[in-house]
Structure 1
Amino acid sequence: MSKDKIDYLMIILIVLLLGIGLSMLFSASYYHSEKIGKGPLHIFNKQLLFVALGAVAMIFAARVPLAAIRKTIPLIVLGTMVFSLLPFAPGIGKEINGARRWVVILDYTFQPSELIKLAVVLYVASILEKKADRIDDPLNALLPPFIIVFIFSVIIFFQNDLSTSFFILFIALAIFYIAQIRLVYFAYLGSLIIPLGLGLLLTGDYWRNKLMTFLDPTRDPFGMGFQVRHAKIALEQGGFFGKGVGMSTQKLGFLPEPDSDFIFAITGEEIGFIGIFFIIVLFALFTFRGYVLSWKSKDKFKYYLGFGITTTIIVQAVMNMAVTIGLMPTTGMPLPFFSLGGSAMLVTLFMCGLLINISRSRETQGGVFNG
């Protein structure tokens, strides 16, 4: 591998998204920091720590041979599974808003489901490449990885995180699809997953109320409908050019979670339609470039891995934006590079490092943007 193969366009896109994301996080979080009596930079500084750790993780992931990382995948899967059970442990797990998704270590909270996203992509990419010659044998190639992914999905579900539970199933199925697993097997899996999902939505009070409030926000205007209503107000007030960075009013106690779930709304309020359009273009270029780099690799593991990473990042971004503009029920899905959350930032930057690694080790030269 030589340095001239590094995809500098991908690095530029990552730096731009991260830079804009940190700027918006600072603006969206300083009022919240002051409100909890910690000073205006408290939340931002905590996130900066994870950005620094994530940068180290990204450099590590970009430079370590993928073959070495692949050898550790069984340990990563096992360790992640153990870690994902810790939120249920008394004294270690932390419950927030009725969901027990967090682990507290040295006054820092970590969300194991973020690590699960990475573990699932690594594991599914590795196992499908290993069994590429038996891809038409569902019991051999499809069932083992699906069982592991399903176990992760069940663990996340019992943490009261239905959206992430189904999200990792979707990512796994997306990788199955590009591995050219026969469509009839997707029909079999769908016949199991879809009724289960509908049953959970219709029988669970919490998720049923979420769905009903999404369909009619006035049903619960001061509860579940409150966030989406004020997110739309923020976007409307931003208009075409925005109020200016730091000038949002919705972050001043009106819009809950302005620095995490609804940071896209604050972004739209401050930099307007023109600003969020530029951000969407950056995400689109990131996605396109990620898929191009993956497709260029003749190694199926790298292809599946790059595709899975790119899909994981962009689908989260699309879901977060869709919730903000009222096209989806609230999911709690972060906006990559923007939302507050150390675990998500660490995993996202590590994944970006793997994409850069794939660009360094691709067998073919050139590309869509660099000829």
Structure 2
Amino acid sequence: MPVLSRADDSVVGRWWWSVDRVMLTALLLLVGLGYVLALAATPATNLSLNDPNTIVMIRQIVYLLTAGILMVGVSMLDLHYVKLAALATGVVFLVLTGFTLVHGVVVDGGRRWIALPGFTIQPSEFLKPALIIATAWLLAERRRTPGFPGMFAAIGLNSLVVLILLRQPDVGSTALVLATFFVQLFLDGLNAFFVGLGVAGFGAAGFAAFELIAHVHKRVMLFLHPTKDKAYQALTALSAFANGGLWGRGPGEGQVKHYLPDARADFVFAVAGEEFGMFLCLGIIALYAVIVLRGFMRVLRETDPFVALASAGLLTSFGLQAFINMASSLSMIPTKGMTLPFLSYGGSAVLATGLHMGFLLALTRRRTHAERVTDGLFGLGMQDRAV
């Protein structure tokens, strides 16, 4: 990219000098690592287009490229257009997520996908970032407009999404949505009594899931008694980290991808550990930490309630998803089929993450007085933020 002057008043010039370049760099590094792991997690291939492994690898590279472009493009939006984009995305993918209950494709017991010519899509992945932004707007608007039922509307909207996710069923996404919503309510000033009630509710819901949902019960028991109950996935993933050691066995030399059916998705972190070693794994963890901590540092300085709540929600969802994936690969928690952002295989997951982090970069940009956002549609006024 040519050097841009601070006097450059073009869209790209204004974006470059206002976006958080540290966060952007960390995200682009994750996209680059996703490319490397798309190659590493693919079993040996002859690079023929007749080889299914080659097709999977090429698809993932295209998904990553598209996600990177989408992330940068969305990050250029002003706050007003972030809300419009989130509203449009939310309406479309809420309808499509509900549609999965009627005509969804069943995979591993879950009806979460819609079949389209040549590929499938998981609408709930795109719904989550839009839901976070809509929730932030509802909570912020109730403070700005007396009498506006923002809290009840936010609770109703999140309850509707949770009910649909439970019907699919998608316990992991349900827990992620609820945890993110709870963090947004907490930052909005939720009463201490209700904070305690929420924590107790999470505990009760977890116990109920353990008792009533067969696959949740099985995963928890495998976590508690891995050798007794032959926790194949967890033990195989741990052996991959042990085989990799500090520096790894080398690109393409790992074996876990041949034995774990979800190696390129749920256990891609184990593939990274085996082929590239502990130091690369620590580097991956550091990248996620930089993004989350850098983002929350911006949130702490934010004076606009909407931006603070939306950014905190997006960061919470992103950070929790990364933690759950890596922690389950390391057998720190029960295994959970949740992707590692930008690194795991999956078109819906990768593209939705690009949208998710594009919204975050747009929200956390510094803005000059010349870039004021007026009330416009929805009556959503935003305070200026000086560079």
Return the TM-score normalized by structure 1: 0.88
Structure 1's 159 and 271: CA in aligned 2 closer, same or farther, altered over 3 A? same
Instruction: Give the conservation status (yes or no) of the 8 Å contact 1:294–1:358.
Output: no
Q: Structure 1, residues 87-112: CA drift from partner, whole Å, max 9, x if none?
A: 2233xx21111111111111211112
Corresponding residue for residue 253 of structure 2: 247
Please, which moves more after superposition, 76-85 or 157-166? 76-85
Please, which moves more after superposition, 192-201 or 287-296? 192-201
Number of aligned residues? 357
Please, which moves more after superposition, 46-55 or 95-104? 46-55
Structure 1's 101 and 180: CA in aligned 2 closer, same or farther, altered over 3 A? same
Instruction: Give the conservation status (yes or no) of the 8 Å contact 1:31–1:251.
Output: no
Within 2, Cα distance between the matches of 1:171 and 1:330? 20
Corresponding residue for residue 274 of structure 1: 279
The answer to whether 1:336 aligns with 2:341 is: yes
Tell me how far 1:167 sits from its aligned partner. Answer: 1.1
Letter in 2 for 1:58: M
Structure 1's 28 and 169: CA in aligned 2 closer, same or farther, altered over 3 A? same
Within 2, Cα distance between the matches of 1:37 and 1:250? 24
Tell me how far 1:179 sits from its aligned partner. Answer: 1.5
Within 2, Cα distance between the matches of 1:23 and 1:310? 24
Structure 1's 43 and 185: CA in aligned 2 closer, same or farther, altered over 3 A? same
Instruction: Give the conservation status (yes or no) of the 8 Å contact 2:18–2:365.
Output: yes
SS of equivalent residue, structure 1 residue 199: helix
Structure 1's 18 and 52: CA in aligned 2 closer, same or farther, altered over 3 A? closer
The answer to whether 1:349 aligns with 2:362 is: no
Structure 1's 243 and 180: CA in aligned 2 closer, same or farther, altered over 3 A? same
The answer to whether 1:60 aligns with 2:65 is: no
Corresponding residue for residue 132 of structure 2: 121
Within 2, Cα distance between the matches of 1:74 and 1:131? 18
The answer to whether 1:26 aligns with 2:39 is: yes
The answer to whether 1:300 aligns with 2:305 is: yes
Tell me how far 1:198 sits from its aligned partner. Answer: 1.9
Within 2, Cα distance between the matches of 1:251 and 1:72? 38
Structure 1's 20 and 77: CA in aligned 2 closer, same or farther, altered over 3 A? closer
Equivalent residues in 2 for 1:1-371 (5 A)? Answer: 2=14, 3-31=16-44, 38-71=51-84, 73-90=86-103, 93-132=104-143, 140-190=149-199, 192-221=201-230, 225-252=231-258, 254-362=259-367, 363-365=385-387
Corresponding residue for residue 369 of structure 1: none
Within 2, Cα distance between the matches of 1:325 and 1:291? 26
Instruction: Give the conservation status (yes or no) of the 8 Å contact 2:249–2:274.
Output: yes
Structure 1's 31 and 85: CA in aligned 2 closer, same or farther, altered over 3 A? farther
Instruction: Give the conservation status (yes or no) of the 8 Å contact 1:30–1:44.
Output: no
Tell me how far 1:283 sits from its aligned partner. Answer: 1.2
Within 2, Cα distance between the matches of 1:282 and 1:196? 32
Within 2, Cα distance between the matches of 1:267 and 1:127? 41
Within 1, Cα distance between the matches of 2:86 and 2:95? 14
Within 2, Cα distance between the matches of 1:32 and 1:120? 40
Gaps of 5+ in 1: 366-371
Structure 1's 35 and 41: CA in aligned 2 closer, same or farther, altered over 3 A? closer
Tell me how far 1:195 sits from its aligned partner. Answer: 2.6
Letter in 2 for 1:322: A
Instruction: Indicate the percent of aligned positions where both proteins have the same amino acid.
Output: 25
Tell me how far 1:314 sits from its aligned partner. Answer: 1.2
Gaps of 5+ in 2: 1-8, 368-384
Letter in 1 for 2:100: P
Letter in 2 for 1:174: V
SS of equivalent residue, structure 1 residue 251: helix
Structure 1's 73 and 354: CA in aligned 2 closer, same or farther, altered over 3 A? closer
Tell me how far 1:163 sits from its aligned partner. Answer: 1.6
Within 2, Cα distance between the matches of 1:32 and 1:99? 30
Letter in 2 for 1:47: Q
Q: Structure 1, residues 134-188: CA drift from partner, whole Å, max 9, x if none?
A: 89x9x94433212211221121112122121111000111111111222222334
Instruction: Give the conservation status (yes or no) of the 8 Å contact 2:366–2:386.
Output: no
Within 2, Cα distance between the matches of 1:229 and 1:37? 33
Within 2, Cα distance between the matches of 1:216 and 1:31? 34
